[in-house]
Structure 1
Amino acid sequence: MKNNNTTNTKLILLHPYIQKQGGPNRLWLLAFVSFFTLTFLATLIYSRDSILSPSRPHADLHRDAVSNSDNLPLPATVVNALIHYVIRSNYTYHMQQPDIKIVADVLRKCSVPCNFLVFGLTHETLLWKALNHNGRTVFVDENRYYAAYFEEQHPEVDAYDVQYTTKASEMKELVASVKEQSRNECRPVQNLLFSECKLGINDLPNHVYDVDWDVILVDGPSGEWPDAPGRMSSIFTAGVLARSKKGGSPRTHVIVHDYYRDVERVCGDEFLCRENRVASTNMMAHFVIERADPNTFEFCSKCNQTASADASPARTTSPSS
């Protein structure tokens, strides 16, 4: 219809018969028809804009509402349902409800978006991803094949592998080496990407070191036998990342699972510090680490170190549930 109208208009304005008639009446007729045509087109355009414009504010409001809802944390009912079905599963090795609740409570109070770093791909991996709704969640695992498989099965999960070179049986020597190098390679505040500290993880993708992590969960690597990697590196790295934050919240929540074991308890006390521990269960310890000055060379206060030295040996078997 638009093409036909345009063609007719051109015929009216440019028709040879009208052009040949040079009388005043014909000229007035030509002017009148031209004016009527232009007025009709202007009215049509204005009417079209008037019809469409009222819907635009509604679309913008709807888009803003959707955007705002996306930034909200999961409702408590959804969180409770997720936790319920995880702990009710038939999988043998999974966290108990009190331990999961510590992580869930921290994530719920975290500002959106929340940056959540997890050492270990476990039975709870998809739960952690879901609980940190709209946040950034990154997983680090010792098994490159499992990490690749997990990402293939769950493309929404961001996982990387790390090749640990430590052994749980070497814990005492490795902790001692950190103390000797606390003013050099093993500083509490540094960019681990360029570190040569034996316990520093420096082979993650570069962008991982640029993120200001709000919550770090240490639930890997494995440490059940002497030749297992142990969690010395992941606990040390968590402590350094927390103290080395450049922006965001000045505090980082570091949660260590299997805290009843020697490696987790000793390294937690050495690199996260008892003075920073705010909650614990039989299996879990929750620390809050403050951002530190670049010239800091001690992980913990002297009082904390004395308490750690005088502490009785940690249990090496899992407590009864």
Structure 2
Amino acid sequence: MKNTNSNTKFILLHPYIQKQGTSNRLWLLAFISFFTLAFLATLIYTRDTTSSTITTASSTTLSTFTNTPLPSSVINTLLHYASKSNDTYHMLHSDLKTISDVLRKCPSPCNFLIFGLTPETLLWKALNYNGRTVFIDENRYYAAYFEEKHPEIDAYDVQYTTKRSEMKELIASAKEQVGNECRPVQNLLFSECKLGLNDLPNHVYEVDWDVILVDGPRGDWPDAPGRMSPIFTAGVLARSKKGGNPKTHVFVHDFSGKVEKVCGNEFLCKENLVETTHSLGHYVLEKMDESSVKYCKNHNHSSGSASSS
């Protein structure tokens, strides 16, 4: 009988060999883990770098776009079509160009305050497209309607307490209070001066306005508010600037009107009148010291009209 057990072989695995296999697997796992982590780190870094580059490029492009002035051809086109308006109260081309020229030379960004929502409202916003433009109007419903129709417009309403027929009394009261409530340099938010507007949004008193246009409210009848308060307020805001350009350009539209000329002489001052036409007065005021108690250097106020050229 053949012994079947004679060819039987026993394979014995040494513990060292088992340990060596385990070690190799661990090294392989570590190798794969290292390269996985390296890949993820590279991916995250690349994404962050790309994102940062895009953000920087976008910011640079936006900054360049914001600080680039409107081309002359665009400005001239806007002025041309604005002056062709069929609205009875629209400005003449020569007056539009005078204000436009000042806006073009204004430091960027330019702060432009306008009393009155007029046919030129969208034009002023466009010409000062890289600056701050704020409108003040006496009609709260029209201001709300205009903002709803044109969300880019920043308009606020104000309640005037003056009457055109009371102009002389209001001027006399302001001159009597020139050292107190009606000071030429002050924060009108805390003033009780009858001619000062103290119920505008707080930030209006904090901005250093470079250009102010008085083109409202209307004053065609005795009980109309007239433009006494906006002219007085413009003078105080210009003289009370804290920083920025020390000079402020103040324009008064409908300059042939008695209220516009008289209040302009009293509170914006003849020595500051640099240019006039039949319908536009252009003043340049400088900021003054807080202790000032005179609106004008030449204190001989006159109720007469300014000269026209």
1:26 and 2:32 matched: no
Measure, in 2, the Cα distance between the counterparts of 1:162 and 1:141.
Answer: 6
Contact 1:169 / 1:226 at 8 angstroms: preserved in 2? yes
Aligned residues of 1:223 and 1:231 also touching (Cα < 8 A)? yes
Q: Could you tell me which amino acid in structure 2 is paired with residue 165 of structure 1?
A: T
1:138–1:157 CA contact under 8 A, matched in 2 = yes
Moved more, 52-61 or 171-180: 52-61
CA distance in 2, matches of 1:66, 1:30: 55
For residues 21 and 79 of structure 1, do their structure 2 counterparts lie closer, same or farther at Cα, with a shift above 3 Å needed?
farther
Matches within 5 A, 1:1-321: 23-45=18-40, 47-49=42-44, 52=47, 55-56=50-51, 58-59=53-54, 60-302=56-298, 305-306=299-300, 308-309=301-302, 312-313=304-305
Structure 2 vs 1, CA of residues 57 and 158 (structure 1 numbering), >3 Å: closer, same or farther?
Answer: closer
Alpha-carbon contact 1:262-1:314 (below 8 Å) kept = no
Question: Unmatched 5+ residue regions in structure 1?
Answer: 1-19
Partner amino acid, structure 2, of 1:26:
G
Query: Residues 8-34 of structure 1, C-alpha deviation per residue, up to 9 Å, x if partnerless?
Result: xxxxxxxxxxxx997133133213312
Deviations 1:46-101 (Å, cap 9, x if unpaired)? 55357546645642234312222123232222222211121122222200111111
CA shift for structure 1 position 107: 1.3
Look up the equivalent residue of 2:36 and give its one-letter code: L
- After TM superposition, the runs of 4+ consecutive aligned structure 1 residues lying more than 3 A away are 49-58, 311-315
Structure 1 length as normaliser, TM-score? 0.84
- Percent identical residues: 59
- One-letter amino acid of the structure 2 residue matched with residue 113 of structure 1: P
Give the TM-score taking structure 2 as reference length. Answer: 0.87
- 1:147 is paired with a residue whose SS is helix
Asked if structure 2 preserves the Cα contact closer than 8 Å seen for 1:261 and 1:314, the reply is no
Contact 2:268 2:296 in 1 (8 A): yes
Q: Which amino acid aligns with 1:85?
A: Y
CA distance in 1 between partners of 2:239 and 2:305 (Å) = 27
Give, in whole Å, the separation in 2 of the partners of 1:115 and 1:287.
Answer: 16
* 1:260–1:51 Cα change, 3 Å: same
For the aligned residues, what is the CA RMSD? 2.3
The size of the alignment, in residue pairs, is 293
Change in CA separation of 1:63 and 1:271 when aligned onto 2, cut-off 3 Å: same
